[in-house]
Each structure stands twice: as C-alpha cells, then as structure tokens.
Structure 1
Amino acid sequence: MKRQPIPHPGGSPNARTVASYEQIADDYARETAGAGVLSGGLTRLAETVPAGHVLEIGSGPGWDADALEEAGLTVRRTDITQAFIEFQRARGKVVDRLDAINDDVGGPYDAVVTLHVLQHVEQDDLPAVLTKVAGALRPGGRFLVSIPLGEGAGWEVGESGNRYYRALRSEAEFIAALAQAGLKSEWTERSVHDEETGWLCVLAQLR
C-alpha cells in the first residue's frame, strides 16, 4: 500500500513525531499493556543471548523490557520521549534519554532491541542508525527490530489527531539495509502472512 503524503506540519519529522508521543504517552501505555504482537521475537532473543546485556532503543512504556528482564536479561531502557521516561520512572524503572539519530548509544552490548520505532526514522537517516546499532554490538551480537511493511513515506494522523511521520519499507529492502550495516538476518516473523503489509520482526546477527 502506497502511503499518501499529508502536508508537512512543521519541524523535523523526528521532532514533530516525538512531540505527538509526548501528548499521548499515557493512552499509548494503557492501549499496549499486555500486547503480544510479534512477541515471538522477544522469546527468540532471550533464548539466543541468555543473561545478556541489552540496549533497548525506544522503550516506550517499558513492556518489552519487562518481558526481557523476566527472561533473565539485563536491559538498558532508553527513550527520546520525556513522557515515556517519566511513565517508566513512576513504575520504579531506570530509563535514560537517548536520541538514536544524534546520540552515542554506548556499548558493547550483547543485543540491541528497537521495536515499533524505526518507521519514524527518515529514509536518509536509516543507514546511519543501523550502522550505529552494529557498532554498539559485541562480535556475534544480535539486533531485534520491527518495521511496518509497505511503500512510501509521509505524515499520518492518529486517532488522537496527532501527526506521526512513518516510512514504510519492503522486507527485501530492509534486509538489504541491514546487510549494508553488517547485520545478517537469521530469523523473521510477520504479523500478517502472505501479505506485503502488517509488521515484520527481524533478528539479525552482527557478521
């Protein structure tokens, strides 16, 4: 499905999208609590790097980090949205503010997790972000990532009326981008089978 562009609302796509999440963080947390979409990736990662040290980029409410910690991994929770940071801190969690596009992400880690995040990264910024992820991994480290499948990029209006920048990619296109960064796909899961839409989850290994 080709995305029809919505007129640019002003500000960089990343900054405007973050501003939208600042306004709906509590609602987002409530709506995603207990969500199991593509949860197989979390299980697979926990089996692949047991007791590993994981960087999560875009932790949001922290539900995925909770699952990984329950599986025995140590997670560095990060987000760029202050409302999500405050939400997690109110839950007693330690969360760092991190801008994956502009900040040093640290490392080395046994794994990096970025779920439901990279669709908000502009096409031109994606290669640098993936290269940064690869550089933060130990030799043989894993990258767990999910993206929405499709074609095109533009602004989308959510149910709240806020605008979000989303860049859609095909599976082949994204796997190729991972390879360019030195990351080899070793496992994939789709939310919708036999369709070029829905969500794709990939577990890749640093080559």
Structure 2
Amino acid sequence: MEPSPNARTVESYEQIADEYARETQGGHVLSGGLTLLAETMPGARVLEIGSGPGWDADQLEEAGLTVRRTDITQAFIDFQRSRGKDVARLNAIDDDLGGPYDAVVTLHVLQHMEDDDLEVVLSKIAGALRPGGRFLVSIPLGEDAGWRDGESGNPYYRVLRTEADFTSTLERAGLTPEWTERSNEDEESGWLCLLAGLATEDQA
C-alpha cells in the first residue's frame, strides 16, 4: 500500500529536522496566538500536536503552562530529547490523544492532512478537551492542494484552505472560533492563526 501524503511528508521531515530547527529558532510568526492562549488559560495543561523542535512549547512553558510535547517525526523527538525535553511519539490521525486537556495546540501541522484526516483529527481534538477548553491552530490560506519541493529538495504535501472552509470544519467538530490573526510572511495568501473554544456543559 502506498504511504499517505501525510506519511510521505513525515519521511521528508525526518531528513531535514535539524535544518528546520535552525531556521525556525527565534521566529515569532503568529506568536500572538501563543501569548493569547497563555493569558486566556493561565496554568493550563496543554497537548501540543506536532511540537517539531519545541520552540512553541518553550514559549508556553515560560508563560507558566504545562505542555505535553508530541510529534510523529522521530528526528524531531530526538532533537528535543537532546535539549533535555520530554517528548512523546504521537500520530494524531491514528492514536488516542488522551486528556482531558485545558488546551490543544497544533501550529504549522494541519496543512499536511487531507480533508478526511483533518475531520478525524479535529473531532479527536474536541473530544480531548475539557468543557471550556481552547484549541490554537494555524493553517496556510488559499485554495490548492498538492506536492511541493522544499528548499532541501524533499517533497511535502500541502493543502491550502479558505478561512470559511476551515471554520466550517471546526464548527462541525464542535469548536467555535473566538480570535484570529493573519500573517503575510509567507508565499501565496499567508497564514491564519485561530483560537477556538469548546462549549461548556452549560452551553452544550
């Protein structure tokens, strides 16, 4: 059986993890969402899906949150462990996410998932949140899907979605958008960072 686009993309990240870590260290694109999450959910217990090098988790922990770092790419897991971080291997499509968590964070990750997998993962995220929990996510904006070659020459699969389409998918999973931020520091239409909430028991 052919590996899925997401699995083939993970294989590419295995080859470039150290380079990616160097290029993204100190970056602050869309960091406003991390700041807002820390302010909205002080002391929260957070699941991060796709921690990568761990820079976003560092920011959340520095703000007083407790982060369960996870990634599917072994090279990123090894990189973080070399930094003394505790990080678990997690396949968000196939594995149980655990919980309940106060918040779930997944930045620069869902772009690699096809529509069916995205629906599954968002439903699982909603199920892993406590009532009143928050979900922080970023996606590249646009209307296209397909394979691209990174600067290293390794291919990766990327899906561009409109804000309206992504918001509809979130709402079907039971997540309500509360805040958005946009960045044009990327090619094409830029990035959307979005904070969504799960209804409380009183609201359900």
TM-score above 0.5: yes
Aligned-residue RMSD, C-alpha: 1.3
Query: Which of 148, 168, 181 in structure 1 is aligned with 2:173?
Result: 181
Gaps of 5+ in 1: 1-9
Gaps of 5+ in 2: 200-204
User: 2: CA distance between counterparts of 1:124 and 1:177?
Assistant: 11
User: Which residue number in structure 2 is paired with residue 162 of structure 1?
Assistant: 154
Larger RCO (CA within 8 A; separation ≥ 6): 1
The TM-score normalised by the length of structure 1 is: 0.93
User: 1: CA distance between counterparts of 2:64 and 2:3?
Assistant: 40
Shift of 1:178: 0.5
User: 2: CA distance between counterparts of 1:132 and 1:14?
Assistant: 17
User: Which residue number in structure 2 is paired with residue 7 of structure 1?
Assistant: none
Shift of 1:124: 1.5
Tell me the percent identity: 77
1:51-200 equivalence runs, <5 A: 51-192=43-184, 197-200=189-192
Q: Secondary structure at the match of 1:51?
A: coil
Does the 8 A contact of 1:79 with 1:97 survive in 2? yes
Aligned residue type for 2:178: E
How many residues get paired?
197
Q: Secondary structure at the match of 1:112?
A: strand
Describe the superposition over 1:112-136 as per-residue Cα deviations: whole angstroms up to 9, x where unpaired: 0000000001111111110000000
Q: Secondary structure at the match of 1:45?
A: helix
Query: Which of 21, 33, 36 in structure 2 is aligned with 1:29?
Result: 21
Aligned residue type for 2:63: A
User: 2: CA distance between counterparts of 1:191 and 1:111?
Assistant: 23
Describe the superposition over 1:34-56 as per-residue Cα deviations: whole angstroms up to 9, x where unpaired: 00000000000000110000000
